[in-house]
Structure 1
Amino acid sequence: MVAEDWLRSTEAIFDHMELNDRQRVSCVVYLLKMDVRIWWEVIKQTRDQNSMTWAEFIQAFSKKYYGAIVLAIKVDKFVTLVQGNLSMTNYAQKFDRLAKFAPKVVPTKTLRVQRFVRGLKMMIVRDVKMTNAEVFIYVEVLD
């Protein structure tokens, strides 16, 4: 999760700065420290940093720091996530965090909302359905 948080924060900064793909790769290398810096030095030996896109960087980074087993565990946690004793806020936070790892499970906004509602406590599901059976906007369901 540390790698995920770092990557999302970095992307937010790059979005704010309106950097293009190559600028993002060029800038991100200055933010790498310790073991990640060593990993990058190895990557540089096999790839041309100047032609690498941001998507390629993320793919290489993800392969290193989100191994197949870690990703499978995150997807499984997402698929089995239910509200249970969690507050709505905590459930929504866990749902959002884990959904990032399972884009194939919820590839559309509609499926994302349906999956979110399916994990809610039954009495809340009933309230959501009574409010509007066709609500497909995540924020509205959350409200």
Structure 2
Amino acid sequence: LEKNLDAIRCPQEYRLDLAVHYLKDDAMFWWDGVVEAARGRYELTWADFIEGFTREYFPPEAMDKMENAFEDLRQGNRTVREYKEEFNRLRRFSTKHLSEADQIRKFMKGLRF
């Protein structure tokens, strides 16, 4: 979803409204519940949507698989660019919130020399 919104250069302030517009069925019922729970307490953000949607619709087993893929990631036969793209795609699944310096070390460790 974020990739598509980036591709159309959708500004951050419109992403939440646009994503919600396309929700259907169970996903819309889920979001209505989130909105109701937040009503009057805080304003929902794009980050809230992404975090909640991921938690609701991305099973823990899949999250574990992606986290393990990140932990085990090596450049292998990929170009550096392909490795960087895969690194960036998978790092969001890590439950270890790595500092920028730690991310750089992990990236460098996975490069083939």
User: TM-score under structure 2 normalisation?
Assistant: 0.74
- Residue from 40, 49, 60 that aligns with 1:68: 60
AA partner of residue 115 (structure 1)? K
Question: Cα offset for 1:83?
Answer: 1.2
Greater Rg over alpha carbons, structure: 1
Equivalent residue, structure 1, for 2:94: 102
Aligned to 1:134: none
Q: Which amino acid counterpart does residue 73 of structure 2 have in structure 1?
A: L
**Partner Cα distance (2:89, 2:31) in 1:** 30
Q: Are 2:31 and 1:40 equivalent residues in the alignment?
A: no
RMSD: 2.5
Aligned mates of 1:43, 1:108 — CA distance in 2: 33
Whether 1:83 aligns to 2:83 is: no
Report the Cα offset of residue 103 of structure 1.
Answer: 5.4
Q: Percent identity?
A: 21
Q: What stretches of structure 1 of length at least 5 have no aligned partner?
A: 1-5, 124-143
- Relative to the length of structure 1, the TM-score reads 0.61
| Contact 2:67/2:95 (8 A) holds in 1 | no
Task: Give the structure, 1 or 2, with the largest relative contact order (CA under 8 Å, sep 6 or more).
Answer: 2
Instruction: Tell me, in whole angstroms, the C-alpha distance in 2 between the residues paired with 1:44 and 1:71.
Output: 21
